[in-house]
Structure 1
Amino acid sequence: MARFLQQLLDAQEPMFSRGIAMLEKSTGHSSVDVRLIADITEQSHAIMRQLGLDTSDTTGRELYGALISAVHSGSIETLLEDADYVMMKLDGKIISFNMIDVIENAHHKLPYANQTITHGQRSLRGELLSRYIDHARTDEVTTRQIAESIGLLPGDDAWYNFVKYHEKQTAKPVKEFIK
């Protein structure tokens, strides 16, 4: 299962798989990673169906084009509202369902081959880390140490993780937190 996440995050192997195995062991083998993968798959397929795409035979280019069209039609906010960390690999290419990535791709008219996925990767790293930290059996300090050793805590993500953490704790959207 770590391979799926490793590909989406472009993480270094074998360190990433070993780190995920350590994190899983710290939870008592609760399959946190498998649940996250299931959530990603469920959400990506639901969005694809809302776009009118068949999840069994849609190509990466078709999905990318449909997401860009949703930006131009003004329906992207409701479509991708809770898809910050959702990404999928189609035809050997990673597609981000992160609203910021999709809007940037549309705004800059980036071709399929040059699309940006950095915000989706940042969100996925944060989601993966928060699920392990929030698990009842894990120790936050140890979890953060393991996460840092496998590249889940790059310095560039510090502001994002801080805001997302406070958003979860206060149940207020980022817009209200920044005020």
Structure 2
Amino acid sequence: MPIPNGLSWSLKKIWQQRETLSSSGDMQKFVTSGKFKIQRLYNHLRQQGEPVRWKRIVCNSHASPKSVFIVWLALQDRLATKDRLRRWNIIADSVCSLCHNTDESRDHLFFECSYSAEIWSHVLQRSGIHRTSGTWNEKVQWVQKVSRSTRSKARLCNSLFCETVYSI
């Protein structure tokens, strides 16, 4: 049955789910011991996707919301870095504004650039965290691993990462 005209967006979504549910076949697969199990229906309706490894960096962060948002963009490589802006023909020059040596990409900006690497090293040193420098992916993996813990040092590392990325 087609979706009626004049429905609000929320009612259209409900109507679409009604269609999905009716096309799923036998409703008995959502019933156990004579009771309807909403969890089974939810798992049937929700979209299954790849697990997000960096979720703890974003979801469990005690950093400011604006820094968490910027980190979320950076994790998806969606920041408006100069190399992306040049590809979109918005700017002509894509050289890093911090070091003036190479193109400004996410990986360069965090923390291959000598200037930003020095900032990161200084932040870690002032916080008493001993960590060697590495690529963006290595830093993200480290913060992912640290963010599994609920200890105060883990929260500090997570917040430092988010706030440093935001500041740069």
Query: What is the TM-score when the length of structure 2 is the normalising length?
Result: 0.26
Higher-Rg member (1/2): 2
Name the structure with the higher helix share.
Answer: 1
